[in-house]
Amino acid sequence: MSYQEIIEKIKPELQKAQEYFREQMLQIKAGKIGISLIEEIKVNCFGQELSLKQIGTISHYSPKEILIQLWDKSYVENVISAIEKKKLGFGVRAEGSSIFLSFPPITEETKRDLVKILNEKKENIFQNMRRIRDKAWGEIQDCCRKGEIREDDKYRGKDKLEDSIKQEQEKIEKAVESKRKEIEG
């Protein structure tokens, strides 16, 4: 196995880590409430687990409020229960088959807490990426010991591996910086 194959093999793991990080960032609320924060919440409807977006339409009512218009009024209690179970900090009120979710204003202390949470999530993803890198580096070294990879290629592989990880980390840094501006803005 060549070092290029080993590096290619870890790319799906890095991509999966990136996607998980994006999902985590969507859960950090700042400014306008993101619909993506709630659309995948699972609701028990007649013995089936359905996502919120499957049982109604979700739209912005205002920058601080989301409107969920359910297709069937009988879903209201289950939807409210599912949303409250997530503990997202929304105020919830129902009017007929419509549910309004309101987001309280963000204080400076809340902004600092959100930035702290954002930085913790960033550090977690970086640790995960370092584990992936270390695993691949160990595999490259094993292949070198077995004679499958030359010594020169081992170090070339290490440099390429570092470059791949650095590129992924830079993408995360840009996303974090953008989210930080959104929070502080």
The reply to whether 114 and 174 lie within a common domain is yes
Q: Mark whether 87 and 18 lie in a shared domain.
A: no
Instruction: Provide the b/e sequence for 31-53 (b: ≥16 CB within 10 Å).
Output: eebbbebbeebebebeeeebebe
Q: Looking at residues 136-164, what average pLDDT do you find? A: 93
**Between 139 and 89, the higher pLDDT residue:** 139
Give the Cα separation of 172 and 175 in Å (integer).
5
Domains contained in the chain, number: 2
- pLDDT (average), residues 3-26: 88
The overall longest dimension of the chain from CA atoms, in Å, is 71
- The pLDDT tens digits of the residues spanning 66-103 come to 888 988 888 889 888 888 887 777 788 889 989 998 87
Instruction: Please tell me whether the overall predicted TM-score, pTM, comes out greater than 0.75 for this model.
Output: no
pLDDT for the residue 34: 67
Q: What is the pLDDT of residue 30?
A: 60
> In terms of pLDDT, which residue wins out, 118 or 62?
118
Statement: residue 31 has pLDDT above 70: no
| Domain span including residue 49 | 35-102
Helix H or strand E encompassing 98: strand 98-102
22 with 75, same domain: the answer is no
Do residues 112 and 166 share a domain?
A: yes
Shared domain for 62 and 152, answered yes or no, is no
